[in-house]
Amino acid sequence: MSTLFEKTTINGLVLENRLVRSATWEGMCDDDGRPTPQLDSCYNDMALGKVGLIISGYTFVRPDGKQLPKKMGIHTDDFAVDMKRLTAAVHDAGGKICLQIVHAGGQTSSASAGRQPLAPSAVEVDQFPEKPAEMTLQDIDEIITAFAQAAGRAKEYGFDAVQLHGAHGYLINQFLSPLTNRRVDEYGGSIEKRCRFLMEIYRAVRKCVGNNYPVMVKLNGDDFLDGGLQEADAVYAAKLLDQSGIDAIEVSGGTPASGEKNPIRVKIKTAEQEAYNLGLAEHIKKEVSCPVMVVGGFRSLEVIEKVLGDGTADYISLARPLVREPDLARRWMDGDRSPARCISCNGCFKPGLKGEGIYCVVKKKEQEEK
């Protein structure tokens, strides 16, 4: 029976516990994507707080894959010193950090990308802010190369692993989804063909970093959209990755167009509302041999312990609770078993959009009122 506070290993990477910081945008980089000391401090706090593995905010592999402002980039060698400073901030505190790499595809905008967004198909759907341009085969090849180069930089700069972002409606997910992928060539149609872009990225990344470096993926178990990626196809993709040697799969669900079933749901107040992607993770877990992480509304230690004890998932991922309490893992380790104090309001993202970087606005208000 697995427990939260035990050592584990993922392809040689030793983790002190099974608690993972799931990637979220922090808004703590320069406009060009260069990480700042503010971001170093953010990750250092979580490492000191005993988070087993910190997955970075989603980091663009090319400028035309950027989405939100002050998002981190790994598209250039110019950030080497800053990236090494960031990983050192985590390692000096005893932590481990994985770089999540992404291209936003049709979910970015001309203003953010500096050009008409690219997507598998030129379709107008709710999750796209504007109609994108259909990617050519050359576009596909170049973006695959960009992912591989990004992973190579991550390894060089001291990141302990990389994670491909294949969820939440971003470019890899857009290829997997029949809603956004209407192609009639070798990258569209059957689920096997819709997986091709993902698998070619994975193989290119693996070739670049080698077999002894952890490569993970974040995958939607379901898009929760009419016509989008559904559970059976997600399981198919997970099995392909597993058979090809992926080191861990983090299971999520939803896109910005998925209504109440979007990736960052609000008003999680009871244990019954927690773990909202657990069923998806359970189905994938039954079909793969690699470790499975699950994200989605975890707030209480009792729920987490039950999931790990039942073997439904191998790691538990949190994002918003660690914005309010970067020392949550340490608090639980020290015997305070009360639930995470995050109220799932999503208010933490508002200061990020104002250029301040994310923080818990509820906590700040409480401190100001004392």
- DSSP state letter for 360: -
Chain segment 209-219, per-residue pLDDT in tens: 999 999 999 99
Containing H/E element for 318? strand 315-318
170: tokens are 């971003």
Q: How confident is the model at residue 47 (pLDDT cuts 50, 70, 90)?
A: very high
Backbone CA torsion sign across 27, 31, 37, 43: positive
Q: Rounded CA gap, 297 and 319, in Å?
A: 9
Q: Which residues pair with 293 in a beta bridge?
A: 250, 315
User: What is the residue-wise DSSP string for 225-259?
Assistant: STTS--HHHHHHHHHHHHHTT-SEEEEE---TTSG
Q: Pick the catalytic residue: 157, 170, 315, 359? A: 170
Chain segment 84-97, per-residue pLDDT in tens: 999 999 999 999 99
Q: Based on the residue annotation, tell me whether 170 is a catalytic residue of this protein.
A: yes
Backbone CA torsion sign across 202, 32, 87, 46: negative
Calculate what percentage of the chain has a pLDDT beyond 70. 100
CB atoms within 10 A of CB 336: 10
Calculate what percentage of the chain has a pLDDT beyond 90. 98
359: tokens are 């923080």
The model scores a pTM over 0.75: yes
Q: Tell me the average pLDDT of the chain.
A: 97
Contact 251, 221 (CB under 8 A): yes
Backbone CA torsion sign across 266, 104, 285, 258: positive
Does residue 297 register a pLDDT over 70? yes
Radius of gyration in angstroms for the set of CA atoms belonging to the chain, rounded to a whole number: 19
Nearest C-alpha neighbor of 313 from the set 251, 253, 271: 251
pLDDT at 138 (0 to 100): 98
Q: How confident is the model at residue 149 (pLDDT cuts 50, 70, 90)?
A: very high
pLDDT at 370 (0 to 100): 72
Does residue 19 register a pLDDT over 80? yes
Contacts of 300 (CB under 8 A, 6+ apart): 271, 274, 339, 340
4: tokens are 């939260």
Nearest C-alpha neighbor of 351 from the set 12, 27, 90, 71: 27
Does residue 255 register a pLDDT over 90? yes
From 21-25, 257-261, 363-367, the region with the lowest mean pLDDT: 363-367
pLDDT at 369 (0 to 100): 83
Does residue 367 register a pLDDT over 80? yes
Contact 286, 242 (CB under 8 A): no
Does residue 1 register a pLDDT over 70? no
Question: Could you give the domains of the chain?
Answer: 8-369 (3.20.20.70)
Nearest C-alpha neighbor of 106 from the set 256, 265, 238: 256
Does residue 305 register a pLDDT over 80? yes
Does residue 315 register a pLDDT over 90? yes
Does residue 337 register a pLDDT over 80? yes
